[in-house]
Structure 1
Amino acid sequence: MPVPNTNLSSPLWLFDLDNTLHDASHAIFPAISANMNVYIARVLGDGTTPATQEAVNAARLGYWKRYGATLLGMIRHHDVKAADFLHETHAIGDLQQMIRTEKGLSRLLRILPGRKILLTNAPTRYSKDVMRHLGLKRHFSHHIAIENMHVHGRLRPKPSKLMMRRMLRKHGVAARRCILVEDTLDNLRTAKQLGVRTVWITQYLKMSDPIGAAAVPKMLKRPAYVDVKVKSLRQLAARLHRLR
């Protein structure tokens, strides 16, 4: 097993994708949300008539709050296959016309010291397509999507501590050497509990989860478990000293 490297001058960056590296709330999340509604209505329906919008909303939001991802509730309570759910909900058309991000993102990533891993609850095909359109693949040594987040045979996406611990062991790094860059506070909170340093990105917080059910946090004050809060990745390099 590799010996964990605790050199803070060469951190391991763990980057989220949606609403972190690009503005998923602009068009992508609404499209995923619409697909998810159709899918859940069909599963909850009687085989002929889809479930009502009220029933769909209750299941979607309830499972998201209870399990951290609507998909996990659909798997547990409705015997849904993860691959089927992810394929149908992420069939959203022409990504190139939907993606929005800030200029110079490649340069901003290049100047950050250390290795970078993409750690996203999005499915592999979708997240690879987004990264290709963004032109950022070369900056990341590994791409960890939701299909790669199984622990003991069960799907454990963020904010799972079990998944995070396993990922750190696999890559042979100590938690204190890692920096998670995210828009989702629950994921940052869990990571901080493990000793990972945390960066909260806020500029795309129009719709803070891909099911369209959660509102932007009322207070954008930096919580205690967030080491650095930035609106944009453009501000991150100037605040690296706060992560040491």
Structure 2
Amino acid sequence: MTDYLQASLGLDRAAADARRRAYWQRHGATLLGLIRHHGTDPHHFLAETHRLPGLEARLRRPRSDAQALARLPGRKFILTNGPAAYAARVLGSLGWRGFEAVIAIEAMRVFGQWRPKPDARMLRHLLARLKLPAHRAVLVDDTPGHLRAARREGWRTVWMQGYHRPQSPRLKRLRAGPPTVPAGSPPPTAWQRPGRRPAHVCARISGLNRLRALTFHG
């Protein structure tokens, strides 16, 4: 994405990276910042930034992940800010199956406007389409901002931390903690560890095999 901003906006690499981060933090997705401030064609952006030659060779494919997903009960969906073609490419390479649908960024529009995660309107619209009450929905995501928005809408939230290296001592501390928690609002004081878990996170896991161990009440 930094390369795209360099080429399309005529910035040096440091400025392009700073702009990418700023748009991501302010709008929740770099694409939204580009659309709103520069009139970027979203389809061109998505195609150019998700070519990623050699991606398949770099993906980790632990067999336990596919097995964990296969054992997980309930309806399962992929909700991604990436384009549909990219999602299909990744899922095919990983061998992940059993999803009712892949909801990619092209499907995240509300009244014609692009509304990717963490947009609350999109989350409400999605649940209405799926005929699913918020308290029955669980979002597993590696981005705290996405989890925060979902929690505000009444979803249960699981912070997936197993696919990123810790960037700071604080993040290392956040990774610790039991996997089984109630999802009432607020969660029980006994599981709240000040400074260790954001209030909008119901549980933290470091691998998909931990998902089935989670129990939610309320």
Q: TM-score range by the shorter chain?
A: 0.7 to 0.9
Cα distance in 2 for partners of 1:63, 1:217 equals 26
- Give matches, 1:59-74, under 5 Å: 59-74=19-34
**2:170 aligned partner:** 218
Cα contact 2:118–2:150 (8 A) shared by 1: yes
Match of 1:140 among 86, 95, 99: 99
Q: Which moved more, 1:91-100 or 1:178-187?
A: 91-100
Equivalences, count: 195
Cα shift readout 1:148-203 (whole Å, capped 9, x = no counterpart): 10111111100000000000000111000111111111111111111111111111
* 1:179 to 1:72, Cα distance in 2 relative to 1, 3 A: same
Could you say which structure has the greater relative contact order, defined with CA pairs below 8 angstroms and 6 or more residues apart? Answer: 1
Cα shift readout 1:125-145 (whole Å, capped 9, x = no counterpart): 1110000111113x1001100
Cα contact 1:43–1:78 (8 A) shared by 2: no
Gaps of 5+ in 2: 175-195
Cα contact 1:182–1:188 (8 A) shared by 2: yes
Cα distance in 2 for partners of 1:111, 1:67 equals 36
The alignment partner of 2:82 has SS state of coil
Match of 2:7 among 35, 42, 61: 42
**2:186 aligned partner:** none
Gaps of 5+ in 1: 1-35, 46-50, 208-214
Measure how far apart 1:55 and its partner are: 2.3
Match of 1:168 among 109, 127, 132: 127
- Give matches, 1:1-244, under 5 Å: 36-45=1-10, 51-137=11-97, 139-206=98-165, 218-219=170-171, 220=174, 221-239=196-214, 241-242=215-216
Measure how far apart 1:38 and its partner are: 2.1
* 1:54 to 1:106, Cα distance in 2 relative to 1, 3 A: closer
The alignment partner of 1:180 has SS state of strand
* 1:123 to 1:243, Cα distance in 2 relative to 1, 3 A: farther
The alignment partner of 1:192 has SS state of helix
The alignment partner of 2:62 has SS state of coil
Measure how far apart 1:228 and its partner are: 1.5
* 1:194 to 1:85, Cα distance in 2 relative to 1, 3 A: same
Cα distance in 2 for partners of 1:217, 1:77 equals 35
Measure how far apart 1:223 and its partner are: 1.6
Q: Which moved more, 1:157-166 or 1:98-107?
A: 98-107
Compute the TM-score of the two structures, normalised by the length of structure 2: 0.84
Cα contact 1:197–1:243 (8 A) shared by 2: no
Cα distance in 2 for partners of 1:162, 1:151 equals 7
Residue 131 of structure 1 aligns with an amino acid whose one-letter code is: L
Cα shift readout 1:24-43 (whole Å, capped 9, x = no counterpart): xxxxxxxxxxxx22211122
Give the root-mean-square deviation of aligned CA atoms.
1.7
Cα contact 1:228–1:243 (8 A) shared by 2: no
Residue 122 of structure 1 aligns with an amino acid whose one-letter code is: G
* 1:107 to 1:206, Cα distance in 2 relative to 1, 3 A: same
Cα distance in 2 for partners of 1:217, 1:70 equals 27
* 1:226 to 1:160, Cα distance in 2 relative to 1, 3 A: same
